[in-house]
């Protein structure tokens, strides 16, 4: 719930009700003293009834908003209804006046007051203010069309359109400026003990900042997300799932919450390191000993997640970072449990999700069967990539790629790797890549045990220290993929109902299993 939007919308409607009530009483007084109307005419004449309807309607909205917490969508509809009420009252009043009084000008003034009050009071983007302004201004064209003819109609229409466009520009700009300033101020002021630092990156759903805890002097990565009500539920679920994990090879979630302005935020461990994708891109295939060390840590992170009923579903090189922790070089951090799935009792189990090159066969064709062994398959692909700088399967289309994962045996990495690959490590990876989940290691714990028994030993802590000492320092402020909070990339996988995937399984050459959006 956006408390700021609720309180500001109620204040705005209250201002409308107050101004409408004041004008109504003022005109009643003028009618009695100047127009020499009777009390009945002043209170119950046609104009008075229309003005009274506006007062009653806006007051009713004001009271309704105060009777409990309202959803964001309800508040947005109230926003539109309030300006529509003002515009409707103005049009009806103008149509009952003669053209000699130029009633469209008075109506423009009334709507302009309402829109200016809204721009100043209601948190809104410039685009939404523009749309709401159109709702208030377009009905005023009925006045020109109904009361005037010929040249007079043209001039009246030009006046309404010209003044209306200027009003839209002013109010939309005002809303945009106030909205951005308010978001910045509230982002800095209402994030508890965290002070925002440099912006690390920005994506479609959020912005990532370096942040500092005021009392602990701890550097963190803080991600601000503006989301709909549905997105908020997903974001809270993601945060709650990640907060259950405390393994040293899993990126730590320190805090999460929502500001009074509706901005959702995560506070997570800031990792100064590189992703495995960057590591391979910059240095080529890795020696088997280092691959074994990295995969052992990845499997340890997954072992804890699997023991708590969570499946990552998107293990890939860009979601695994390696960094240098004091006393422990080559420390792995598994990122982004945003697609994490509870093995039991989750509707998302009926949908495919992940990255096609790393998805197990069941993730594409039978997503309801996704489980810990699905992550084991992805670790197998990851290990294959680290040893060879290539994934085991490639294809020109996504459906062909999914079919390759389902039907083709992988080429042993020892045949294509630039480094020697021990047989025991290769055997572990090939078992991870088994088509049937029952033929793989059941979970991260079993995989970790198998990797721990492999004999590749040319990569030691001393070797890791030497390697890191030879590298240039990792920049503290870099793109979002270099920190432990990742902004979604432009290429993602679309979630597809399992019924469609079942049809793809029956005829894979005709039905795409994954789509790019």
Q: Is residue 515 part of a domain?
A: no
Tokens matching residue 373 = 């062994």
142 in the same domain as 97: yes
Whether residues 82 and 16 share a domain: the answer is: yes
154 with 225, same domain: the answer is no
pLDDT at 353: 60
pLDDT at residue 495, as a whole number = 33
Judge if 291 and 327 occupy the same domain. yes
Q: What angle do CA 340, 345, 351 make, to 5 degrees?
A: 55
Q: Which of 274, 245, 328, 171 has the alpha carbon at shortest distance from 482?
A: 274
Same domain, 279 and 423: yes
| pLDDT(274) > 50 | yes
pLDDT at residue 136 is higher than 80? yes
- Decide which of 168 and 351 is more confident: 168
Q: What is the pLDDT of residue 458?
A: 73
**Per-residue model confidence (pLDDT) at position 515:** 30
Q: Is residue 458 part of a domain?
A: yes
Residue 506 pLDDT grade (very low, low, confident, very high; cuts 50, 70, 90): very low
Average pLDDT over residues 499-513: 36
Q: Do 17 and 115 fall into the same domain?
A: yes
| pLDDT of res. 475 | 55
The stretch 369-376 carries a mean pLDDT of: 93
- The residue from 79, 93, 255, 314 that is catalytic is 314
Backbone angles phi, psi at 99, to 5 degrees: -65, -20
* 517 found inside a domain: no
Phi-psi region of 285 (alpha: psi -120 to 50; beta: other; left: phi over 0): beta
Most confident range, picked from 62-66, 145-149, 298-302, 359-363: 298-302
Q: Which of 233-237, 298-302, 502-506 has the lowest mean pLDDT?
A: 502-506
CB 5 within 8 A of CB 123: yes
Judge whether residue 208 has pLDDT over 50.
Answer: yes
In a domain, 473, yes or no: yes
Please give the average per-residue pLDDT across 302-328, as a whole number: 90
Residue 282 lies in a domain: yes
Query: Do residues 339 and 372 touch, judged by C-beta distance below 8 A?
Result: no
Please state which of the ranges 66-80, 117-131, 253-267 shows the lowest mean pLDDT: 253-267
Q: What is the mean pLDDT of residues 378-401?
A: 94
Tell whether 224 and 281 lie within a shared domain.
no
- Residue that terminates a domain, selected from 228, 249, 269: 269
Boundary (domain end) residue, out of 161, 189, 217: 189
Give the H or E element holding residue 186.
Answer: helix 150-189
- Residues 257 and 362 both lie in one domain: no
H/E run at residue 195: strand 194-202
CA distance linking residue 323 with residue 471, whole number of Å: 12
Same domain, 394 and 257: no
pLDDT score recorded for residue 185: 66
Q: Annotate 28-74 with three-state secondary structure.
A: HHHHHHCCCCCHHHHHHCHHHHHHHHHHHHHHHHHHHHCCCCCCHHH
Q: Does residue 497 register a pLDDT over 50?
A: no
Q: What is the mean pLDDT of residues 435-440?
A: 95
Sign of the C-alpha dihedral, residues 324, 212, 298, 412? negative
Which of 138, 171, 189 corresponds to the end of one domain? 189
* 212 in the same domain as 145: no
Verify whether residue 231 is a known catalytic residue.
no
- The answer to whether the CB of 330 falls within 8 A of the CB of 289 is no
pLDDT at 297 over 70: yes
Whole-number average pLDDT of the chain: 80
406: nearest Cα among 396, 417, 416, 392: 392
pTM: 0.57
Domain that holds residue 109: 3-189
CATH number of the domain where residue 458 is located: 1.10.510.10
Share of the chain above pLDDT 70, in %: 81
| Poorest-pLDDT segment among 9-13, 159-163, 273-277, 383-387 | 9-13
Indicate the pLDDT class of residue 151, thresholds 50, 70 and 90: confident
String of DSSP letters for 76-96: HHHHHHHHHHHHHHHHHHHHT
Structural domain contains residue 511: no
Q: Which of 291-295, 353-357, 511-515 has the weakest average pLDDT?
A: 511-515
Work out how many domains the chain is built from and give that number: 3
Q: How high is the pLDDT of residue 2?
A: 54
């Amino acid at each position: 719930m956006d408390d700021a939007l609720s309180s500001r919308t109620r204040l705005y409607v209250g201002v409308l009700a107050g101004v409408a009530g004041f004008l109504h009483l003022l005109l009643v007084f003028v009618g009695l003293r100047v127009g020499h109307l009777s009390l009945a005419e002043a209170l119950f004449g046609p104009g008075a009834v229309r003005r009274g309807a506006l007062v009653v309607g806006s007051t009713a909205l004001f009271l309704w908003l105060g009777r409990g917490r309202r959803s964001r969508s309800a508040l947005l509809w109230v926003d539109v209804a309030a300006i529509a009420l003002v515009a409707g009252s103005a049009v009806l009043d103008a149509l009952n006046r003669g053209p000699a009084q130029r009633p469209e000008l008075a109506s423009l003034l009334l709507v302009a007051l309402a829109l200016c009050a809204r721009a100043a009071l209601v948190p809104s983007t410039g685009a939404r203010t523009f749309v709401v302004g159109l709702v208030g201004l377009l009905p005023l064209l009925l006045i020109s069309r109904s009361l005037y003819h010929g040249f007079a109609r043209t001039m009246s229409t030009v006046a309404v359109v010209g003044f209306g466009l200027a009003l839209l520009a002013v109010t939309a700009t005002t809303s945009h400026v106030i909205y951005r300033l308010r978001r910045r101020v509230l982002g800095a002021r209402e994030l508890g003990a965290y002070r925002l630092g440099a912006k690390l990156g920005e994506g479609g759903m959020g912005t990532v900042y370096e942040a500092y805890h005021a009392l602990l002097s701890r550097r963190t990565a803080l991600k601000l997300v503006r989301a709909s009500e549905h997105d908020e539920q997903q974001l809270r679920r993601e945060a709650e799932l990640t907060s259950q994990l405390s393994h040293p090879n899993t990126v730590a979630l320190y805090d999460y919450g929502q500001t009074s302005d509706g901005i959702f935020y995560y506070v997570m461990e800031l990792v100064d390191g590189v992703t495995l994708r960057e590591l391979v891109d910059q240095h080529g295939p890795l020696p088997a000993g280092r691959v074994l060390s990295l995969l052992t840590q990845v499997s340890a992170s997954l072992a804890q997640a699997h023991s708590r009923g969570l499946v990552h579903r998107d293990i890939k090189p860009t979601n695994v970072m390696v960094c240098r922790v004091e006393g422990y070089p080559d420390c792995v951090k598994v990122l982004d449990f945003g697609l994490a799935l509870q093995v039991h009792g989750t509707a998302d189990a009926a949908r495919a999700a992940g990255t096609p090159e790393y998805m197990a066969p069941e993730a594409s064709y039978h997503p309801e069967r996704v489980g810990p062994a699905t992550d084991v398959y992805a670790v197998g692909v990851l290990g294959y990539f680290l040893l060879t700088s290539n994934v085991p399967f490639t294809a020109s289309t996504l459906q062909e790629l999914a079919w390759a994962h389902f039907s083709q045996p992988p080429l042993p990495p020892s045949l294509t790797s630039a480094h020697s690959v021990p047989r025991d490590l290769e055997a572990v990876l090939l078992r991870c890549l088994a088509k049937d989940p029952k033929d793989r290691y059941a979970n991260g714990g079993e995989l970790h045990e198998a990797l721990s028994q492999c004999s590749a030993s040319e990569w030691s802590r001393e070797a890791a220290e030497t390697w890191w000492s030879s590298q240039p320092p990792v920049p503290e402020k870099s793109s979002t993929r270099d920190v432990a909070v990742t902004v979604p990339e432009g290429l993602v996988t679309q979630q597809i109902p399992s019924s469609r995937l079942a049809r793809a399984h029956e005829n894979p050459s005709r039905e795409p299993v994954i789509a790019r959006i």
